[in-house]
């Protein structure tokens, strides 16, 4: 039950030791975690990157059947790191400037959004589904479901340092209040106990 929450020690803006050197990361990058399959939408992020690649690289973590064609399409605008350890995944998110997600279908819940918030990383993602209840205007930007709009919104946020700074603060606070393991575990336990007693 406790696993449903996000670990605030693991996903933490201070937990980045050694990650920049290990992957030769640029100072500014957008991260896109997830399987490289059509349903997860990495192709949408690759297309969106044409609108902001002069400002930030796009780093993909995860693997799948789309890797080769997308790598060719992405070119020098970013990199695919493939599968990484859970520890490295957390650090890569923690050190990112923004997290982006553009799944083809509206998902009920995405753990990456709560992980980004815990890491104080603003989110730019396609609207719709569970993300609408997780990402608020104070913690990120939800866009129309097309790569051009996504890319333009990423560009706008990359250029607005003041807004990003405000979002980083709000994100961590929201994650701690609503999505931390310490918060969600007991809440779910209480709900289950109530459910059992009622039946």
Q: What pLDDT does residue 1 have?
A: 35
Tens digit of each residue's pLDDT (9 = 90 or more) over 131-190: 999 999 999 999 999 999 999 999 999 999 999 999 999 999 999 998 887 766 666 556
- For 70-78, what is the mean pLDDT? 96
Query: Tens digits of per-residue pLDDT, 31-62?
Result: 999 999 999 999 999 999 999 999 999 999 99
Topology given in CATH for the domain delimited by 2-198: Rossmann fold (3.40.50)
- Rounded Cα distance between 51 and 114, Å, is 26
pTM assigned to the model: 0.90
Letter string b/e over residues 19-37, b meaning 16 or more CB atoms within 10 A of that residue's CB:
beeebebeeebbbbbbebb
Domain ranges, ordered by start, for the chain = 2-198
Query: SS3 of 4, please?
Result: helix
């Amino acid at each position: 039950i406790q696993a449903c929450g996000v670990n605030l020690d693991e996903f933490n803006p201070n937990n980045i030791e050694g990650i920049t050197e290990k992957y030769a990361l640029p100072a500014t990058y957008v991260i896109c975690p997830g399987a490289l399959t059509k349903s997860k939408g990495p192709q949408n992020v690759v297309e969106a990157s044409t609108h902001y690649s002069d400002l930030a690289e796009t780093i993909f973590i995860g693997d799948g059947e789309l890797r080769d064609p997308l790598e060719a399409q992405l070119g020098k605008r970013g990199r695919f790191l493939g599968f990484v350890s859970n520890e490295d995944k957390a650090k890569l998110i923690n050190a990112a400037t923004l997290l982006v997600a553009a799944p083809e279908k509206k998902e009920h819940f995405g753990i990456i959004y709560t992980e980004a918030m815990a890491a104080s990383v603003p989110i730019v993602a396609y609207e719709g589904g569970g993300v609408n209840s997780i990402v608020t205007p104070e913690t990120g930007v939800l866009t129309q479901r097309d790569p051009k709009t996504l890319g333009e919104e990423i560009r706008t946020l990359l250029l607005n340092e003041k807004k990003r700074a405000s979002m980083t603060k709000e994100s961590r606070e929201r994650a701690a209040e609503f999505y931390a393991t310490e918060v969600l575990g007991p809440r779910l336990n209480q709900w289950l106990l109530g459910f059992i007693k009622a039946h």
